[in-house]
Structure 1
């Protein structure tokens, strides 16, 4: 079995999470409040997001949100890589 590169896997997870965050930003910017509520209600299997959707998100808050999402994604990916590498048997 091959070992995973922990940093590269973490980066891939972080970038994927940041793209998902960016996708959320695009949905909110293009579909308005009712469209956003409809989209996330259908995505979240019946949970009503009407009371938690906030459309007036400042640009700086969105910027920090995408950075934090990338960092969390990187940490999750790196942990998966480390846990995977610990469990594989290396042939000598």
Structure 2
């Protein structure tokens, strides 16, 4: 059976998370507060995000957020790959 490359899967997850974070930044920069609230309310099935949307995010905080998102995504992807590969080893 096919084995996953743990580092590559981790990188793919991390990059995907960073792109989603960047997309969120673009929505916030272009849609304004009301548009951002409407977007995220519809995205998460009508949960009211009015009280948690903060539009005055400093650039350095956003930079650290995208880096942290990449790292967490990498760790999640690497864990999934490692767990998948461990399961294959047990069946052989």
Give 1 or 2: higher helix fraction: 2
Which deviations, in whole Å up to 9, do the C-alpha atoms of 1:30-52 show, x marking residues without a partner? 00000000000000101000000
TM-score (ref. length: structure 2) = 0.96
Q: Name structure 1 gaps, 5 residues minimum.
A: none
Q: Structure 2 matches for 1:67-82, cutoff 5 A? A: 67-82=67-82
Which segments of structure 1 move beyond 6 Å, counting only runs of 4 or more? none
Distance between the aligned counterparts of 1:50 and 1:12, measured in 2?
A: 32
Which deviations, in whole Å up to 9, do the C-alpha atoms of 1:62-86 show, x marking residues without a partner? 0000000000000000000000000
The two structures, once aligned, show a CA RMSD in angstroms of 1.0
Which deviations, in whole Å up to 9, do the C-alpha atoms of 1:5-51 show, x marking residues without a partner? 00000000000000000000000000000000000000010100000
TM-aligned CA deviation for residue 2 of structure 1: 1.2
Distance between the aligned counterparts of 2:46 and 2:23, measured in 1?
A: 20
Query: What residue in structure 2 maps to residue 17 of structure 1?
Result: 17
Query: What residue in structure 2 maps to residue 31 of structure 1?
Result: 31
Q: Name structure 2 gaps, 5 residues minimum.
A: none
1:57 and 2:51 are equivalent in the alignment: no
